[in-house]
């Protein structure tokens, strides 16, 4: 067993944090290509590799993405009013978007698109099961995106998942703006740049709480009360972090 390799890998995982404040320094093309090259090696269902990557570095392109997705954040603020009281403080989304130094200032956006035509390579037993076919497709894209995140971290870059591009309105308009076929799927977008902050560590559930040896009976899993406590804890962490960033 090579514990040294594992320790290096775990350190990479632990240092991968979503970064929401970026320097204006340009990211070398070599680094961008290394991130996408890493994603090529991600596992995909039956090696279908159903991915395409669009890199945006020009201000006009990135500004248009910001404009298209702006309404999503307005809707989020309004929808937070419907949150159950027991979940704690309302998430005001301050420090998340459209503020100096936020994701919109990242010098590079990488949008990961899915091309479902590659799913023709799946076995017929999978193709006939539309639910499983979709899960394999999305898992493949998720693997590629995770590899991108880890590669960015290994290069000393900051990255943020920007899933607002996935909404039907945003996806439609983004594909139209970029000239991407409308039957492609927008999986996610990475805002990429040199970090202007050090993201705080996040609270994790304990290992012994999530591992269940040889048994999966109901008593092994968290009670409703414990789950609710964790929901309140992690929401308090998220709102606290972003309120702090907004104040800086």
Across the range 4-17, mean pLDDT stands at 92
Residue 245 has pLDDT above 90, yes or no: no
Rounded Cα gap, residues 175 and 56, in angstroms: 13
Domain residue ranges in the chain: 11-247
- The DSSP annotation for 65-120 comes to HHHHHHHHHHHHHHHGGGS-GGG-S----TTTSSSTTSGGG-SEEEEEEE-GGGGG
Per cent of the chain over pLDDT 90 is: 66
In this prediction, residue 247 has a pLDDT band, given cuts at 50, 70 and 90, of: very low
**Residues 155, 30 contacting (CB under 8 angstroms):** no
The reported pLDDT for the residue numbered 246 is 46
Cα separations in angstroms, 95 against 28, 202, 245: 27, 17, 6
Residue 214, SS3?
coil
Rounded Cα gap, residues 227 and 150, in angstroms: 28
**Residues 160, 148 contacting (CB under 8 angstroms):** no
Tell me: the pLDDT tens digits for 87-132? 866 666 554 554 555 889 999 999 999 999 999 999 999 999 999 9
Tell me: the pLDDT tens digits for 210-223? 998 888 777 789 89
The reported pLDDT for the residue numbered 106 is 96
Residue 173 has pLDDT above 90, yes or no: yes
Q: Which CATH architecture group holds 11-247?
A: 3-Layer(aba) Sandwich (3.40)
Across the range 184-189, mean pLDDT stands at 98
């Amino acid at each position: 067993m090579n514990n040294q390799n594992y320790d290096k890998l775990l350190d990479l995982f632990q240092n991968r944090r979503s970064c929401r404040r970026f320097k204006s320094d340009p990211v070398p093309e070599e680094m961008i290509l290394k991130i996408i090259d890493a994603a090529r090696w991600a596992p995909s269902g039956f090696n279908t590799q159903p991915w395409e990557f669009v890199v945006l570095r020009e201000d006009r392109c990135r500004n248009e993405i910001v404009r298209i997705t702006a309404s999503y954040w307005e809707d989020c603020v309004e929808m937070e009013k419907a949150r159950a009281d027991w979940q704690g403080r309302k998430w005001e989304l301050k420090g998340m978007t459209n503020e100096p130094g936020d994701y919109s200032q990242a010098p590079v956006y990488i949008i990961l698109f899915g091309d479902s035509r590659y799913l023709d390579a799946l076995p017929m037993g999978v193709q006939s099961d539309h639910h499983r076919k979709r899960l394999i497709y999305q898992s493949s894209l998720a693997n590629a995106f995770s590899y991108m995140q880890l590669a960015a971290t290994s290069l000393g870059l900051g990255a943020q998942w920007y899933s607002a591009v996935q909404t039907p309105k945003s996806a439609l308009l983004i594909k139209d703006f970029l000239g991407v076929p409308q039957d492609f799927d927008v999986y996610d977008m990475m805002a990429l740049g040199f970090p202007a902050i050090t993201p705080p560590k996040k609270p994790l559930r304990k290992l012994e709480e999530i591992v269940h040896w040889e048994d999966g009976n109901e008593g092994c899993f968290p009670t409703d009360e414990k789950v609710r406590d964790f929901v309140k804890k992690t929401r308090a962490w998220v709102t606290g972090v972003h309120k702090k960033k907004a104040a800086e």
